[in-house]
Structure 1
Amino acid sequence: MAHEAIPLKKLAEQFASLPGIGMKTAWRLAFYVLTMSKEDATEFANSILEAHEKIKKCEICQNFTEKPVCDICSDVTRDHTTICVVETPKDVIAFERARGFHGVYHVLHGLISPMDGIGPEQLCIKQLLQRIQDTEVHEVIMATNPTIEGEATAMYLSKLLKPLDVTVTRLAYGIPVGGELEYADDMTLSKALENRNEI
């Protein structure tokens, strides 16, 4: 590739580093960015920077928010005695879209995966344990994906939580094994919540 096209190659490589984006799509996105006006390109870049600067983790549930405490955690009408533990902020959006859950959440920001070098200390587990010790919690729902890593994380957490005198449940398998929560339809998610089982 010609020397003057190196910025374009770097742009394509940045797009390719995003999950689910292959090199072919990355090149298409890079070329599309070049067709944008300078104002639109600047706004696009500024949106990324602004998100990085303004969006933080909620002090309570670790979900992404602009405020110290997110809207869900500060909502007094929600059941704060029931915590739904999920892998990512995308999973919170999936449950909220299904409208079947009225408790609160805790986002782990990952799953235990020794193959990828991810251990419990790299997840937001310490904050969950502290939260349960500091507040009145009756039930913790393990809503990690039904994958090997999701199951391992759920079992690890259930062992930590049992001595804290809380009921630990697991989503029922309305979600297909190997599937991901963000792709599940609303009815499947609602049914999985309704038919959850104690671990």
Structure 2
Amino acid sequence: MYEGAVQELIDELGRLPGIGPKSAQRIAFHILEADPEDMRKLASSIVTVKDKVKFCSICGNVTEQETCAICRDSRRDPTMICVVEESKDVIAVERTRSFRGRYHVLGGAINPIAGIGPDQLRIRELLSRLSDEQISEIIIATDPNLEGEATATYLSRMLKTLGINVTRLASGLPVGGDLEYADEITLGRAFEGRRSMS
């Protein structure tokens, strides 16, 4: 391959999620050809984010303070918690402007193949919140894939024994999609989650 620093950069970039060997090589050569000042800013931003950003002590979302802006917002409904896998999921839900409660970030999903079980997720912290706060509903908003479903099922079974209302985000057909391209699980969920039009 390449010598020294260039190959080291390609190798490090290749460790990032979603970056394969060819993409890593393209990014490395972009960095080589880019304005040095721009690349110093990029490097500085990476160091700064690693130094300053931490996880909210309440919900696990990313923040530069002890608690995140959502947990500090007194206008949010404290009786509802939306459970998500990652911090990026909080942003996705917030963009809808449909949820005004609080969040709990698990830090992943149950995935036995990758060695991730319930103990590796922030489930104990969720249970701690339930004993400290007056929660009327838990909305499980994990990804609609095998790991997300396993996590949702585990949480649902555990939380129902506590007498808390547990709901799951509906899933189904995307707007603008064609039925012929929908997989069986998505189409099945769309049928299960159908609602009256009258």
TM-score by length of 1: 0.84
Give the number of aligned pairs: 177
Matched with 2:27 is 29
Matched with 1:157 is 155
- The question of 1:109 aligning with 2:92 is answered no
**1:164-183 map, 5 Å:** 164-174=162-172
Q: How many Å apart are 1:68 and its aligned residue?
A: 0.4
Cα distance in 1 for partners of 2:74, 2:98 equals 17
- The question of 1:94 aligning with 2:92 is answered yes
Per-residue deviation, residues 132-173 of structure 1 (Å, max 9, x unmatched): 110000000110011111111111111221222210111111
Matched with 1:182 is none
**1:8-47 map, 5 Å:** 8-47=6-45
Cα distance in 1 for partners of 2:24, 2:173 equals 31
Select the structure of larger CA radius of gyration.
2
- SS of residue paired to 1:141: strand
Cα distance in 1 for partners of 2:146, 2:173 equals 14
Per-residue deviation, residues 87-140 of structure 1 (Å, max 9, x unmatched): 111111101111111111110110011011111111111111100110000000
Matched with 1:137 is 135
Range that drifts further, 160-169 or 147-156: 160-169
Q: Which amino acid aligns with 2:55?
A: K
- The question of 1:78 aligning with 2:73 is answered no
Q: Structure 1's 163 and 151: CA in aligned 2 closer, same or farther, altered over 3 A?
A: same
- If asked which structure has higher relative contact order (CA below 8 Å, sep 6+), I would say 1
Q: How many Å apart are 1:40 and its aligned residue?
A: 2.3
Cα distance in 2 for partners of 1:120, 1:27 equals 37
- SS of residue paired to 1:72: helix
Cα distance in 2 for partners of 1:175, 1:65 equals 34
Q: Structure 1's 107 and 122: CA in aligned 2 closer, same or farther, altered over 3 A?
A: same
Cα distance in 1 for partners of 2:165, 2:11 equals 46
- SS of residue paired to 1:105: strand
Q: Which amino acid aligns with 2:98?
A: G
Cα distance in 2 for partners of 1:174, 1:81 equals 27
Q: Which amino acid aligns with 2:90?
A: V
Structure 2 unaligned runs (5+)?
175-189, 194-198
- The question of 1:61 aligning with 2:65 is answered no
Matched with 1:147 is 145
TM-score by length of 2: 0.84
